[in-house]
Structure 1
């Protein structure tokens, strides 16, 4: 594995990594669905978006989420829309603010990289009082592709005017870290919704027990 250097920019995945999906789960429960359905619907949403990208087409995150809800539940279109609206009520996990502050205090630029709908990240960061710690929020809707497509990570690095090897991607999803590393970024994984990093992938450059550990490990890399 090529030795990694201290990144100039650290990009964070958003859904689950930074923002808690609890409001979406609550909206599903209010609609009469079990809490457990969120995991299935979220996974099917990703499957829909990934397949579209691989097949050479594209769809918005909200549309993929609606399609997943229609496949997994009997909710009518209007009710599905209300559940999707709950994405604008997300808040950061408690460990997010100290992690972002640690990076910015060290002079590292912080950005977010999502394939979610524009506005969702901004609303969540504002609600959590951490928007000022984030230099830029990026949605791959602008390039009409979903992570883990290589082009998304290269577009993000270019948008931040850094070489891919000087950008890190922190995510609680193994597939996202894999995509980032294959594009030349430094990958950092920690468990949030996943218990372990998939053994079938290239191992992450950085693996930690939690978000704080992932940030500390990135800051410990040589300049």
Structure 2
């Protein structure tokens, strides 16, 4: 069940959904790793390595795209032994991921309640737009916002505040929906309302301030955000 919201939280006017491992699980990439001869355990290491470098770039204002970081992480975790064709296949697979089963219902519920809906991931515009179009979820959002630019990696404040500005909203009128505890921490620090789905991490990381709303999946999170007064 969705937890009771914080008494200071207010019903938002718009929702910004994280993309990778929130709307679109990364797990289906596993077969591409296997086809490349990369042990399954290294897929998790790649994802962690990618996040580590993205977080460092958020602090260092690094001018690299998400694809740069994803490819660099692949090379690093394979000792720079990955074949170019295998590297390309894994990166291309990121624009062909299937959506979570409740993703469309969650987006539709927000739109049906009169809220504006956008995506806000660390990925580049092109692959994210391709993901949304391929899944048909593009019809349920008002825009695809990208963070992967200099000084604009989540969880730094810049992308969250830029999303609010793009929607002509004060930060506390925008809610972030994500499956990542670190993303909740970034959004909360920037002044956004936060909603966390437990489908990825299971338990919310104890080192971060809890989200305003949480739920077992994206639909429960949206339902909780819509219940805010």
TM-score, normalised to structure 1, is 0.94
Query: Does the Cα contact within 8 Å between 1:24 and 1:84 map onto a contact in 2?
Result: no
2: CA distance, partners of 1:75 / 1:15: 23
SS at 1:157 equivalent: helix
Within the alignment, does 1:40 sit opposite 2:40 as a pair?
Answer: no
Q: What do residues 8-65 of structure 1 show as CA deviations (whole Å, max 9, x unaligned)?
A: 1100000010012244222111111233322210111111111122123232111111
Q: In structure 2, what is the equivalent of residue 174 of structure 1?
A: 181
Within the alignment, does 1:153 sit opposite 2:160 as a pair?
Answer: yes
Query: Does the Cα contact within 8 Å between 2:63 and 2:150 map onto a contact in 1?
Result: no
Q: What do residues 132-157 of structure 1 show as CA deviations (whole Å, max 9, x unaligned)?
A: 11001011135542100001100110
Aligned residue pairs, count: 222
1: CA distance, partners of 2:71 / 2:199: 24
2: CA distance, partners of 1:48 / 1:219: 34
Further displaced range: 24-33 or 95-104: 24-33
- Residue 6 of structure 1, aligned match among 3, 11, 20: 11
SS at 1:58 equivalent: coil
Deviation at 1:215, TM superposition (A): 0.7
SS at 2:8 equivalent: coil
Say which structure, 1 or 2, has more relative contact order (CA 8 Å, 6+ apart): 2
2: CA distance, partners of 1:176 / 1:102: 22
2: CA distance, partners of 1:22 / 1:53: 25
Within the alignment, does 1:27 sit opposite 2:44 as a pair?
Answer: no
Q: In structure 2, what is the equivalent of residue 60 of structure 1?
A: 65
Unaligned runs of at least 5 residues, structure 1 = none
Structure 1 runs (4+) deviating above 4 angstroms are none
1: CA distance, partners of 2:171 / 2:7: 13
Aligned alpha-carbon RMSD (Å): 1.5
2: CA distance, partners of 1:194 / 1:52: 23
1: CA distance, partners of 2:225 / 2:42: 34
